[in-house]
Amino acid sequence: MDSRVMKVLQIEDNPLDASLVKEMLKEGDWARFEVTHVTHLADALTRLAEDTFDVALMDLSLPDSYGLDTLRAVHNVAPDLAIIVLTGVHDEALAISTVHCGAQDYLLKGQVESNLLTRALRYAIERKRSEQYINQLAYYDNLTSLPNRMLLQDRLRVALARARRNRLVLAVIFVDLDQFKMINDTLGHVVGDRVLQEVAERLKACVRDTDTVARPGGDEFTVLLPEVIQEKDVIMVAERILAALLPPFIISEHELYISASIGISRYPLDGEDAEALLKNADTAMYRAKEQGRNNYQFYSPAMNIKASERLALGNGLRRALERDELRLYFQPQISASTGEIVGVEALIRWQHPEWGLVSPAQFIPLAEETGLIVPIGEWVLRVACQHARSWQREGLAPLRVAVNVSYRQFDQNGLEEMVIRVLHETGLDARCLELELTESDLMHNKESVISTLRFLRNQGVGITIDDFGSGYSSFKYLKYFPIDTLKIDQSLIRDVGSEPDDAAIVTAIIAMAHILRLKVVGEGVETLDQYTFLHDHGCDVIQGYYFSHPVPPEALRELLQKRH
């Protein structure tokens, strides 16, 4: 006999039938059956609330309940329980109905012997487990065990029906992890998956048992609050989520910090159906990202206008390259020691036929998000190199032209080949090209970035870390990367004359960079005081409005000719 123990809840008011079943189960050879016998539905529901059973063996006719209502009551209280109906009623239609209501089998009293009964119990339990496994795959996220998109939508539809009947308010909360891709790219998917699992646990701790935390996919989570009394209740949950993510995530000896952008929509204020509520919560979440991340935003109709504008912007940007609407401006870089123009930074502009000059702050994030930054980045590199070579042919002194590259370009195979091909086709010497990327871009897929930068640097291309001081700002990282120049973020330079801390940080960056044999560029210089500070503390190159705004190629040519 098998050593396993199967717990059976027997719901039967006839003492003779109950005794007979117990005797049959004693003879089973598949497992040892531990039988708990009750005679009333109320007692059965109490036992199910207090204990866990493998299977229920029940009659439908009890002193306090009759027919399918008995089965439904048991199934509602214990939906994961295998159920066999054992009754004296020979009714094919009833048998089919019991299966539809959650039973695994329908047996007739007087037609069951020991082997048949134990076999039926075994199959019922195995079928229920198979059903649970299939249900888990279909309705739950495999990584976090949270409800997936399909189950979320089902629960949202049920909650909406209840809210309409009872005139309730419900809320949908979208939670998007900020810059989670950097963790995946830098530390790998194993670490990223463990972060998602920990986030899931923290989110579940922020809500009630009656609420739903789901993972529709990726680094997005959705919280459904099926009954909201006051708006402050939703705010409390959103703030609880932000607070729950504040403590660091300790994963494989890595100390990681995660924040989230949260969007909220409410029924009936922000939508009458599931699709509208999910869409509007998503829209509000993007608004939270635009507001600097790590915050929550309630949906408002004005956001739809913003979303429509964003859609139009994306469609227009796709056509901008084809229609020759992109423009390249150049901002001079000045030697702090000689005052000569020693380089220029290429800066993209979008001249739209209807909207006029579109700010890069509007379209560059969208280009990165959609992947359009890859063809746009190649266009910028090519046009910048063409202009730099053209100025040389006109007899002007060779300048280094700095071009910004995005982490998305590193994600695409062939960045090295593209850069070398453009240099070859335009005839520009590699030593006249400088690529700028930010600290955060460096941390995306670190090994691949290092390999690409090392190859390009060996060809003569200069490498600059842009906006140094706005991200990781750790000199520890610099030794890993083949770089030539640090460009100090303008947020630090802005207050060097009035903020001692900023002045001390800038001074330290310059000194440490020189120890590492790196050149230093101060960007965003707008005043004489800023220029004087940088000059006096040994900054190599100055860039900013104090000398020149970004100008079109023709204006830069005139400026170069005057200084030639």
> Which residues are CB-neighbours of 250 under 8 A, at least 6 positions away?
256
CB 21 within 8 A of CB 57: yes
Please provide the average confidence, as pLDDT, over all residues in the chain: 90
For residue 1, pLDDT over 50 is answered with no
Between 312 and 125, the more confident residue is 125
Residue 13 has φ and ψ, to the nearest 5°, of -95, -10
CB 80 within 8 A of CB 112: no
- Report pLDDT for 561: 85
pLDDT confidence band for 5 (50 / 70 / 90): confident
For residue 254, pLDDT over 50 is answered with yes
CB 133 within 8 A of CB 39: no
Task: State whether residue 403 is helix, strand or coil.
Answer: strand
Distance (Å) of CA 492 to CA 19, 35, 538: 84, 74, 16
- Report pLDDT for 402: 97
- Report pLDDT for 59: 95
CATH of the domain spanning 332-563, picked from 3.40.50.40, 3.20.20.450, 3.90.340.10, 3.40.50.2000: 3.20.20.450
For residue 136, pLDDT over 90 is answered with no
- Report pLDDT for 450: 86
CB 422 within 8 A of CB 459: no
- Report pLDDT for 453: 92
DSSP E strands, 476-551: 485-488, 519-522, 541-542
- Report pLDDT for 444: 64
pLDDT in tens, 365-422: 888 877 889 999 999 999 999 999 999 999 888 899 999 998 888 866 688 999 999 9
Enter the pTM of the model: 0.57
- Report pLDDT for 207: 96
Kindly state the average pLDDT of the residues 534-563: 92
Measuring CA to CA, which residue among 388, 466, 373, 377 is closest to residue 423?
388
What b/e string do you get for 461-487 counting C-beta neighbours within 10 Å, with b at 16 or more? bbbbbbbbbebbeebebbeebebebbb
Length of the chain: 564
Query: Any idea where the domains of the chain sit in the sequence?
Result: 5-138, 149-299, 332-563
> Which residues are CB-neighbours of 377 under 8 A, at least 6 positions away?
404, 405, 406, 408, 409
Cis peptide before 268 (omega within 30 of 0): yes
Between 311 and 336, the more confident residue is 336
Kindly report the CATH class assigned to 5-138.
alpha beta
- Report pLDDT for 428: 96
CB 55 within 8 A of CB 81: yes
For residue 88, pLDDT over 70 is answered with yes
- CB-CB neighbours of 414 under 10 Å: 11
pLDDT in tens, 217-248: 899 999 999 999 888 999 999 999 999 999 99
Concatenate the DSSP letters of all residues of 228-270 into one string: ESSHHHHHHHHHHHHHHT-SPEEETTEEE---EEEEEEEETTT
Kindly state the average pLDDT of the residues 417-434: 96
Q: Which helix (H) or strand (E) holds 169?
A: strand 169-177
**277: region left, alpha or beta (phi > 0 left; psi from -120 to 50 alpha):** alpha
Kindly state the average pLDDT of the residues 448-476: 83
CB 284 within 8 A of CB 174: yes
- Report pLDDT for 363: 87
Which range (25-34, 81-90, 393-402, 496-505) has the least confidence? 25-34
The pLDDT > 90 percentage for the chain reads: 65
pLDDT in tens, 284-321: 998 898 888 899 999 988 777 677 777 788 888 888 88
Between 414 and 92, the more confident residue is 92
For residue 471, pLDDT over 60 is answered with no
219 secondary structure, DSSP code: T
* CATH architecture classification, 149-299: 2-Layer Sandwich (3.30)
Give me 57's structure tokens: 């063996």
Which range (147-151, 308-312, 447-451) has the least confidence? 308-312
Kindly state the average pLDDT of the residues 197-204: 97
CB 509 within 8 A of CB 519: no
Measuring CA to CA, which residue among 523, 529, 526 is closest to residue 545?
526
Distance (Å) of CA 335 to CA 238, 339, 433, 535, 543: 50, 5, 17, 9, 9
- Report pLDDT for 130: 85
CB 125 within 8 A of CB 55: yes
- Report pLDDT for 348: 94
397 secondary structure, DSSP code: P
DSSP E strands, 440-540: 462-468, 485-488, 519-522
- CB-CB neighbours of 321 under 10 Å: 14
Kindly state the average pLDDT of the residues 331-356: 93
pLDDT in tens, 22-77: 989 886 666 788 999 999 999 999 999 999 999 999 999 999 999 999 999 999 99
